[in-house]
Amino acid sequence: MAPTEEVVQRLKESRPPATDAFTYLTIIEKSLSPDILPTLEEILDDSELTNDIGWDLVDMLISVPGSAGCLERVARLGNPREVILKVLEVMDKTAAAAIKENEQEEEGKEVQPHSGVNGADKFIALVGMLKILHGRLQVRSPSRFLHTTLDTVLRAYDPTSPESTVAVIDFVRSLSTSKRPPLPTRQSSTMLETPFQSTDPSQTAPDPEADDSDKMNPSEPKLINRLLQSFITCIIDTYVNSNSLEWASRLLEYTYPEKVVLSRRSMTKSFNEVAELKAMDALVGQLASVADDLGLSKLPVEEVHQIFASEPSREPLSVDDTDADHPENVQLSTAGLVCLAAYWMVTTDVFDAQHENVKMNIFPHHQELLQNFTGDDAQVEIQGNPGTFEALTVIAVWLDAHQGIFPTDGEKDTANINVMKYHHLVTLISVFHPNIRVRNTATTLAGSVLHSDPDENSRLTILEDLMENCIFSALQACAVTWLREEIIAARKPQAPKSIFGSSECFEKLQYTVFPDLTSLNSLDSSELWSFWAQNSAFHFQVANFALFLFSGKDFHDVAPAGMAAAVEHRYVTPLIQATEALSSALDKKEIEDTEVSGLGAKMQLEILTDTLKRIPLQ
């Protein structure tokens, strides 16, 4: 390769008109290296030359370390219409390369290390260029360019990169017609240091293709703002679903402080002390601040209710139906709006922030939301959108704490409310969500929903259905816990007469709570092991419940006459025989203990056997 001095000299001497634009681009491409960038910056200060060749340089320069100065000049002086299109093309190509690289990593293939600029830095530089370019654009309908830009930026956005999120925030703020002063810097904040922030608008060239007929359509500002609203809800949706913000556990700690285990560091404390977690909080706070600037906190209640009651809008920017006269036709991301509403509620309580929270009730608004998002395949939806379903859980917990599950104003009819259906939707989150802390929060919520049902027969039916038909042992165990809580509540002083405080309850439930297990006697070791693996959580809880029910004098009269002997015959005795047989099989290595966490199966079996033998059934 020729020495840098020779390359620099050739670049200077071959500048147009010494060569034509195409030839000069070829010379630049063959000469390109970090060493010649200072010279290229000087050359690109020629606005006429940059207007001619700038758009072709974007793809060449984006992978060269230290090329920000050249790209900034292209954004300031190049033809904005042409350069925007090129920037979006390069952004798409960069995003596609990143997706391919991730797929190769997932397949275990070797990925070549980056020799130049990584994907996140490319994205940040390109977004910085777009900020300048859209500021220069002078057309009658800038929303057409903006719509394409926002859709492309969203597709290329990596929500796991804090710097990329900062770049997006800065970009939206530059386009927003309503700008607040910059927020004071906090220790937990990710600094808004994005490329080209120091660019002087007076140093940018005017749009060379603009003329007097290109004055902006008067209806454009409202459409632009609506597009930005849609975009920021999509960004919030993507960010919340890609970062574990632990809203559910923190709101649960605030709402139910008695559930906090003092020997463990709470999630609230972790997010106050761990720098990485504090930075995540700061970023989502900045996203919410931008949403507020764009007017999302002031959406009419009727519009919010309509959005929540409709089929979720998942990719609103992919639909090209913009109409400057009807900006409301541009849809918002339903999940993004849900996450924003959850953020307002969490910060109102946990951080004592001041927000105008969304006015809604569990019935019908939250039930409609849950139903719409769960769809036909709850497991796929919940596991694929963990942030959205955490936000949905948070909203319900907050509404329960502040308004209660059911209307209390006496004006709304509760007869048509399907509590069982809503309870089922909540328990789906407690079963399928990938975050155990969200599952625990959903379980707490499900218990509150059940206990709040004013119809005791409805409560009894829900419990019976869970214990009889649910295929998840942990959820069946929860039903036993909730039954115990109902019995305790029914025996409190001044409690109204209730089916749960009398033997009528177990005249209906005893075979559901204590099923006939005599068939276990005919099973071999492997079959017993399968039974144990599928049902151990439920039977642990039932054994403890039986000890609660039949010990002492407080609750034993809830059981009908003769029930204790029947439970001993059909449930306790065969279960003891099964647990002892399994313990023996484990000792003889006839089966293998596959328990990988917590207590081993042998110890669990011994604990259950001991509990069953202590139940006073004679």
Q: What are residue 607's phi and psi, to 5 degrees? A: -65, -45
> Residues 81-107: pLDDT tens digits?
999 999 999 999 999 998 888 777 777
User: According to the model, what pLDDT value does residue 553 have?
Assistant: 78
CA torsion through residues 332, 335, 336, 337, sign: positive
- Which tokens belong to 407? 């209307």
Q: What is the pLDDT of residue 181?
A: 55
* Long-range contacts of the stretch 179-188 (C-beta < 8 A, 24+): 179/293, 180/289, 180/293, 183/286, 183/289, 186/282, 187/278, 188/275, 188/278, 188/279, 188/281, 188/282
Q: How far is Cα 246 from Cα 275, in angstroms, rounded to an integer? A: 15
Q: What is the structure's pLDDT at 108?
A: 72
pLDDT of res. 186: 43
Domain extent listing, the chain: 1-106+116-138, 455-618
Q: Identify the burial level of 291 via C-beta atoms within 10 angstroms of its C-beta, where 0-12 means exposed, 13-18 middle and 19 or more buried.
A: buried
Q: How far apart are CA 280 and CA 238, in angstroms?
A: 14
Residue ranges of E strands in 502-559:
none
What is d(CA 54, CA 39) in angstroms, rounded to the nearest whole number?
A: 15
* CA–CA distances in Å: residue 604 to residues 10, 178, 472, 581, 614: 80, 61, 19, 13, 16
In percent, how much of the chain has pLDDT > 70? 92
* Cα 449 to Cα 446: distance, rounded to the nearest angstrom: 5
- The span from the CA of 486 to the CA of 448, in Å, is 11
Plot region of 494 (φ>0 → left; ψ -120 to 50 → alpha; else → beta): left
How confident is the model over 175-210, as pLDDT tens digits?
987 655 554 444 444 555 667 776 677 788 988 888
The predicted-structure confidence for 242-284, as pLDDT tens digits, reads as follows: 999 999 999 999 999 988 888 789 999 999 999 999 999 999 9
Burial class (CB in 10 A: 0-12, 13-18, 19+), 587: exposed
Quote the CA–CA distance of 420 and 432 in Å, as a whole number.
18
Cα 514 to Cα 395, 509, 548, 600: the distances in Å are: 36, 8, 14, 25
In the block, which residue shows the tokens 């509620």? 345
Q: Are 239 and 335 in contact (CB under 8 A)?
A: no
Look at residues 402, 310, 309, 415 and name the one whose alpha carbon lies nearest to residue 364: 309
User: Residue 229 corresponds to which tokens in the numbers above?
Assistant: 């609203």
pLDDT < 70 regions, the chain = 1-2, 110-115, 178-194, 198-199, 212-213, 408-415, 594-599
- Radius of gyration, alpha carbons of the chain: 32
For residue 178, the model assigns a pLDDT of 66
Q: How far apart are CA 374 and CA 362, in angstroms?
A: 16
Angle in degrees, CA 610, 613, 618, rounded to 5: 165
Alpha-carbon distance of 56 to 83, in angstroms, equals 8
DSSP for 73-115, written as a single string: HHHHHS-HHHHHHHHHHHHHHHHHHHHHHHHHHHTT---PPPS
Name the residue with tokens 């994205």. Answer: 123
CB 51 within 8 A of CB 79: yes
Q: What is the pLDDT of residue 592?
A: 82
SS3 breakdown of the chain: % helix, strand, coil, rounded to 5? 65, 0, 35
* CA distances from residue 398 to 236, 303, 369, 450 in whole angstroms, order as listed: 20, 21, 15, 16
Neighbours of 571 (CB within 10 A): 25
Nearest to 461 by CA among 441, 492, 482, 444: 482
Give first-to-last CA distance, the chain, whole Å: 97
Residues 6+ apart with CB under 8 A from 76: 132, 136, 199, 203, 204, 205
Provide the b/e sequence for 53-62 (b: ≥16 CB within 10 Å): bbbbbbeebb
Phi-psi region of 404 (alpha: psi -120 to 50; beta: other; left: phi over 0): left
CA angle 480, 430, 598 (to 5 degrees): 75
- Alpha-carbon distances of 587 from 580, 584, 596, 602, rounded to whole Å: 11, 5, 18, 9
Q: How far apart are CA 607 and CA 586, in angstroms?
A: 15
